[in-house]
Amino acid sequence: MTSASGVHGPNIAEQVMGYMLMFARKMPVFIRAQIKAEWLHDNKGFEELTGKTLGIAGFGHIAQTLAARARSFGMRILATRRELSGDDASGLADALYASKDLPLMLAESDHVCIAVPYTKDTHHLFDAPMLGKMKPTAYLYNISRGKVVDERALIAALQAKQLRGAGLDVFETEPLPADSPLWSMENVIITPHVAGFTPYYFDRAAALLADNLERYLEGSPLRNLYDSARGY
């Protein structure tokens, strides 16, 4: 059985880049002003991605695709990885951390993207203590699975301004309940689990299938195999 990571990558990476650019250029503020027909000519609060640090929790195919795009914006790239040995992805990151050193990475990051798979080990990985390791000026993005984040803890951190903002595509309960405080937070961008959508999904899936069929006939190792021991 193959995993879906081989057909996703550019689409999800571009979604995260969109979140980062929207926050850096104050787009949530201006979209709300546009709805009210308000000319908000305010030069405060703008940022750039250039020179900022992106920390990525989990460094598989999707995360590596994101790293390549973020680097083109002049960002410094940090990442955690379950196994630091194996295929060489070190050229895509300025530093690789072991999974246990996630708090060290968070303390250095201006933007944090969650790209770990959901397993029993990553359930509520981003709980209140872990969120507390982040800078109060940092942004969090989740394109993984909702239950990797303790949503109540995240809401509390955002309300207390322990984080500057969050871009969220996945949630503990989907659809996100209408009474969730996340809907009305000005420092939150919500998308309804659409980061994986792309018109090229089936083309990429077919290419992966054809490649794996050739490998199978040749007796070569298959790509993107599901590992039942790991849970992904």
User: Would you please indicate which residues are annotated as catalytic (active-site) residues?
Assistant: 145, 174, 193
Q: In the Cβ-directed half-sphere of 96, how many Cα atoms lie within 13 Å?
A: 20
Nearest alpha carbon to residue 23 among 58, 52, 1, 2: 52
| 3-state SS assignment for residue 98 | strand
Spell out the alpha helix ranges (H) of 134-200: 151-159
Rounded to 10 degrees, what is the CA torsion of 196, 94, 22, 42?
A: 180
Can you state the angle between helices 61-72 and 10-24, rounded to 10 degrees? Answer: 40
Distance CA 86, CA 96 (A): 13
Distance CA 23, CA 71 (A): 18
Residue 108 has a CB neighbour count (10 Å cut-off) of: 16
